[in-house]
Amino acid sequence: MEIAPEHPEDGPAIEHLLDLAFGPDRAGKTVYKLREGIPPVAELGFVIHDPAKPEIDGSLRFWPIVIGEERVPALLLGPIAVAPEDRGKGYAKALIWHGLGVARALGHRIVLLVGDAPYYEQFGFARALATNLTLPGWVDEARFLGLELVPGALSGVRGMVGRAA
């Protein structure tokens, strides 16, 4: 298995994976409001695949976001999806560790996501780091998590999460 940067020609295969994982109604979710009209961070799109086969087995993207009136820059992790037949093999874990490592190396400081805390805590995401932040729509608050790529990056950061544009 190999993690590779996402290329433009991967787009249709990634859309198919996301349809399988989240259904075609996924664009109605609160996190999609933060992505509307804004491309994902180009350097932080990754796919995981068997180099011997044409299919993509998993995809991870990050979106740029800002927090509060001071518009503190941050990343929104996701969507992440792994093909149903390839789940439980550690592909998502590998993609996330890889993506967070590249994000840190590029100088990003804060990552937020909406997802299952028992899964994302292994990477350092914590509910406690996002309690001063709000999202522009309903989410189950227990699933709204933060991660500091630089220790203390979320200290004193508060307010509404918004689109980066």
Ligand X SMILES: CC(C)(COP(=O)(O)OP(=O)(O)OC[C@H]1O[C@@H](n2cnc3c(N)ncnc32)[C@H](O)[C@@H]1OP(=O)(O)O)[C@@H](O)C(=O)NCCC(=O)NCCS
119 binds ligand X (CB under 6 A): yes
Give the chain as a DSSP string.
Answer: -EEEE--GGGHHHHHHHHHHHH-GGGGGSHHHHTTTT-PPPGGG-EEEE-TTSSS--EEEEEEEEEETTTTEEEEEEEEEEE-GGGTTSSHHHHHHHHHHHHHHHTT--EEEEES-HHHHGGGT-BGGGGTTEE-SS---GGGEEEEESSTTTTTT--EEEEE--
Does 82 sit near ligand X (CB under 6 A)? yes
Query: Binding-site residue total for ligand X (CB under 6 A)?
Result: 17
Closest CB to ligand X among residues 86, 153:
86
Q: CB-wise, 26 or 158, nearer to ligand X? A: 26
Question: Which position among 34, 65, 80, 154 is part of the footprint of ligand X (CB under 6 A)?
Answer: 80
Q: Is residue 87 at the binding interface for ligand X, with CB under 6 A as the rule?
A: yes
Is residue 116 a contact residue for ligand X (CB under 6 A)? Answer: yes
- Binding ligand X by CB under 6 A: which of 115, 124, 159, 162? 115
Residue 118 is a binding residue for ligand X (CB under 6 A)? yes
Output the six-digit token pair for 85.
């037949």
Residue linked to tokens 């820059």: 73
Q: Is 90 in the site for ligand X (CB under 6 A)?
A: yes
91 binds ligand X (CB under 6 A): yes
Which residues would be at the binding site for ligand X (CB under 6 A)? 21-22, 78, 80-82, 87-93, 115-116, 118-119
